[in-house]
A and B are shown apart, each in its own frame.
Chain A
Amino acid sequence: MKPGGARSLLILILVAGFGGLLFREALRLGEIATTTGLTMYVARIYNYLGPLIAPNQITVVLFDWRGFDTLGECMVLVTGVIVTAMLFGRGAMSKAKEALEEFAGDLEKGHDSLVVGLFGYPVMIAIFAYGIVIMLGGHITPGGGFQGGSIVATGYLLGVMGYGLKRNPLRLRHMSLSSFETVGALTYVMLGMLGLVTTGFYLYNTGSNLGYTEMIQENATVTSYYTPSDTGIAADFNYPEAPDRPYKGPGILPFLNIAVFLKVLGGLSTLVLVLTEARKV
């Protein structure tokens, strides 16, 4: 076997396994729909059950009802970064020092404005903290991982625009950004695996167990399909937001937000880096 053969084989097995998992879950979605009649009044069910999980209905839809979709959206971002790097990033990826020196003066200088130079750094610090807030409050208030990551990436862009690539106060290079993205993606996938282990459903919102839920609206009775237990590791993610209300708690949603935050931060900052360095070529 060639030196890289074992690695390629491992990757093939992992990809095939993950694909099979997706296919199996897609088939079971159909089973759920035919068993419970969930195709009827779907919007009503969302609106009824959503607030039991987290106040921010958008987050519930994005990460609970449509967790697969959000995982795919993250991959869209990765694809965008890869394509941009392929088109514009040859200078960034190669280590052509003469090409770097050609534009070194331009890159080092940054923006000429005194105002940007004076206030860029302080504003960057505030932007980072704000991005963290938006990320952590994603399931309660408007915001989330996508928005928080974008805000922090904006801070990075401000540093690049204000101080130039080489003197940017935020020293994030390709390796750091790719680490952020990798950790984010792995966290997302592992949280999905957690649902598979505890309930048998990939990306099940572990800890946010709605249990036996009966809803009667317009002569249609709908009961929840599955009642997993709240024991073991699932209990660790079960933290009802308000015990005096019928909340079940957001489960893994805040943690998915953190994963997406890392992915978006890494992806968008890489785009900024690649497009800035593209001038080297």
Chain B
Amino acid sequence: MSFVLPLGETIFALISGFVLGSRLQASTGEGRVRVGYIFGIAGAILFYGAYDFYYYQIGNLALKRTWYSPGLSGAFLFGMIGIILGRELIGRRRGAQGEEA
């Protein structure tokens, strides 16, 4: 077993997003939430477009985007997927039922 990832970033971004998303309830209009999703997905695409930013070198120091191969753009994307999943699977239902957290 090793923590060399895409797995690491994917898992942590997904979990973090899922936890936050599951606390987002449906109470203030669904239309604007869709706008939020579109913002997020568009942001992830832009991040992917700019990923070369993380490959540069100053002298001996290489700022290489590693630890996990998808990199920070992937973190945004997977975080967003986690938020969407968490909200759609848990948050909306909780909000619709009017439960107090």
Contact = CB atoms under 8 A, between A and B. Distances in A.
B49 to A, nearest CB: 15
B20 A122 contact: no
Contacts of A238: 2
A138 B13 CA distance: 13
Contact of B62 (A55, A117, A121, A237): A55
B37 A125 contact: yes
A126 B94 CA distance: 21
Name the residue among B9, B20, B91, B94 with the largest chain A CB count within 10 angstroms. Answer: B20
Contact of B83 (A123, A129, A250): A129
A242 B61 contact: no
A239 B101 contact: no
Interface residues of B, number: 51
Contact of B64 (A55, A132, A137, A172): A55
A222 interface: no
B27 A245 contact: no
Contacts of A170: 20, 23-24
B39 A126 contact: yes
Interface string B1-22: 1111100110011001100110
Q: How large is the interface on A (under 10, 10 to 19, 20 to 34, 35 or more residues)?
A: 35 or more
Contacts of A132: 12-13, 16-17, 20, 75-76, 79, 82
Given A118-B32, A173-B101, A136 B60 contact: no
22 contacts: A119-B32, A122-B32, A128-B17, A128-B20, A128-B21, A128-B79, A130-B43, A132-B13, A132-B20, A132-B75, A132-B79, A139-B67, A140-B65, A141-B54, A167-B28, A169-B25, A171-B95, A172-B101, A236-B2, A236-B3, A238-B2, A241-B66
Interface of A: 51, 55, 117-119, 121-126, 128-130, 132-133, 135-137, 139-141, 152, 163, 167, 169-173, 175-176, 235-239, 241-242, 245, 249-250, 254, 258, 261
Interface of B: 1-5, 8-9, 12-13, 16-17, 20-21, 23-25, 27-29, 32-33, 35-37, 39-40, 43-44, 47, 54, 60-67, 71-72, 75-76, 79-80, 82-83, 91, 94-95, 100-101
